[in-house]
Amino acid sequence: MNILDKTYYYFIGAGGIGMSALERFFLSLGKNVVGYDKTETELTSQLILEGINIHFEDNIDLIPKGITQENTLVIYTPAVPKDHLELNYFLTNDFKVMKRSEVLGEITKHTYNIGVAGTHGKTTTSSILGHILKVANVECTAFLGGIAENYDSNIILNGSKYTVAEADEFDRSFLKLSPKLAIITSDDADHLDIYGERDEVKKSFQEFGAIVEEKLFVRKGLEFNNAYTYGVDVDADYNAYNVRIIDGHYVFDVQTPNGSLKDVGILLPGYHNMENAVGALAVADYMGVPYEKIKEALSTFIGVKRRFNRLEINDKIYIDDYAHHPTELDAAIRSVRELYPGKKILGVFQPHLFTRTRDFADDFAKSLSKLDSLILLDIYPARELPIEGITSNFLLEKVDLQEKLVSSLDNSLNEIKKQDFDVLLTVGAGNIDTIVKPIKKWLSEA
């Protein structure tokens, strides 16, 4: 089938970050983009302003009358429940219905596709790579899993000869892609509710690596055959070295198979972001992007929303991050310690999923114990039902801190106001982002 020959594109779960990138892509082609989401958010409001028709009630009467089996493609996310009325209407009436990952696979199949996979780091790495290719004026569209600050969007549009696609391991979605090149940033255990065991996660990433047609790039330390490696101060094919901090930012040199780049600068904090930058640099270099364009892009990339976004307000430092896995949480806290040694750090963490909290409780507790004080929010359930005994109080008991408490999201700002801190770090992948603006407002008025 030609996925681009429809008049209407109907999204069920339209407010999802991966879904909305596809919505913006079809909108850019002049298509009619409509759909449903359970919750109105800042992102859905923005999508509506851009011309996408989204409603928030699961009601088949709200489906536009012009939609037919012949002129419409229905796209859904696996997070949509099986009893969803609209989804079942489309299935029962023989509409063409596809998962988001299948649609992304079809769009990118006839392009020179670069997939960026990993349990951590894929959004930042794919955003950096998309930015490099845009700066170099490569004819490329990048589908991202976050909002790139430079573009205020999760899609970078600049032609369709090449595509960059964030390759999601959830539900093994990344196996729907046909990548010519790929980056794998990490293959840690995650989504054990889907995979069951840690070895199954690794096996899935190996399967993804095996479908890469031309060249695979992996962070040094990952076990993949016939791949270029990248890293920082390691024996890698693309190795950052001579790392120094100048005016609060990382500057480093990079040895590549083709020579060396001197004085590469990035604005992003954190050792892990140096690794992400080197991974993106490696692919751009392999593609023949000139060194000066790579350096220009890295020096102007300002980040991804909710990926270690920081502000200094009235002598307080406020950082917001999407971290929802112990490895990510460790990286965020380590970066804060590195940037602000000796400062008192208050962390506000919202666990994401009951299964992830259960499976990684000890690792979460170890990471959270590196804070000075902690406000632990109630677990964000997302697609899950509660699990008996798995609560935020269960996790809090494992955290080795004197100053710690559990709070609801609604009461969290009141609890924050009572605390003594130099640095405030809010972390989580649920709806903790809804308190970001109120916190900024409070800090600016304090």
Which has the closest alpha carbon to 198: 186, 185, 189? 189
Which CATH code of 3.30.9.90, 3.90.190.20, 3.30.720.110, 3.40.630.30 fits the domain covering 309-445? 3.90.190.20
Which CATH code of 3.40.50.970, 3.90.650.10, 3.40.1190.10, 3.20.20.80 fits the domain covering 111-300? 3.40.1190.10
Yes or no: say if 215 and 406 are a contact pair by the CB < 8 Å rule: no
Contacts of 445 (CB under 8 A, 6+ apart): none
Output the CA–CA distances (angstroms, integers) from residue 355 to 151, 183, 379, 381, 383, in the order listed.
Answer: 34, 28, 10, 9, 11
As a whole number of angstroms, the distance between CA 135 and CA 131 comes to: 6
Tokens of 89: 């209407």
The model's pLDDT over 391-434, given as tens digits with 9 standing for 90+, comes to 999 999 999 999 999 999 999 999 999 999 999 999 998 889 88
Q: What angle do CA 282, 285, 290 make, to 5 degrees?
A: 145
Q: What's the topology of domain 8-99?
A: Rossmann fold (3.40.50)
Q: Please give the single-letter amino acid code of residue 119.
A: T
Yes or no: say if 109 and 4 are a contact pair by the CB < 8 Å rule: no
- CA 50, chain centre distance (Å): 22
As a whole number of angstroms, the distance between CA 350 and CA 408 comes to: 10
As a whole number of angstroms, the distance between CA 12 and CA 55 comes to: 10
Instruction: Provide the 3-class DSSP secondary structure of residue 343.
Output: coil
- What is the structure's pLDDT at 192? 47
Tokens of 6: 């429809």
Burial group, residue 412, by CB count within 10 angstroms (0-12, 13-18, 19+) = buried
As a whole number of angstroms, the distance between CA 120 and CA 134 comes to: 23
pLDDT band at 338 (very low <50, low <70, confident <90, very high): confident
Tokens of 369: 């114990």
Yes or no: say if 393 and 368 are a contact pair by the CB < 8 Å rule: no
Helices and strands (DSSP H and E) totals, the chain = 15, 21
Q: Which residue did the predictor score with more confidence, 430 or 212? A: 212
Do β-strands 215-219 and 162-167 pair in parallel, antiparallel, or remain unpaired?
unpaired
Number of Cβ within 10 Å of residue 149's Cβ equals 17
pLDDT score of 342 more than 70: yes
List the domain boundaries for the chain. 8-99, 111-300, 309-445
Buried b or exposed e, range 120-133, using 16+ CB within 10 angstroms: bbbbbbbbbbbbbb
As a whole number of angstroms, the distance between CA 265 and CA 255 comes to: 14
Which has the closest alpha carbon to 184: 113, 102, 235, 125? 125
DSSP 290: -
pLDDT score of 446 more than 80: no
Residue found under tokens 């889907």: 194
Which has the closest alpha carbon to 35: 49, 48, 50, 21? 48
Q: Please give the single-letter amino acid code of residue 295.
A: K
The residues carrying an active-site annotation are: 122-123, 166
pLDDT score of 318 more than 60: yes
Half-sphere exposure of 142 (CA within 13 A, CB side): 27
The model's pLDDT over 362-398, given as tens digits with 9 standing for 90+, comes to 999 999 999 999 999 999 987 788 999 999 999 999 9
The model's pLDDT over 111-140, given as tens digits with 9 standing for 90+, comes to 999 999 988 888 999 999 999 999 999 999
Q: Which residue did the predictor score with more confidence, 192 or 245? A: 245
Which has the closest alpha carbon to 12: 89, 70, 71, 122? 89
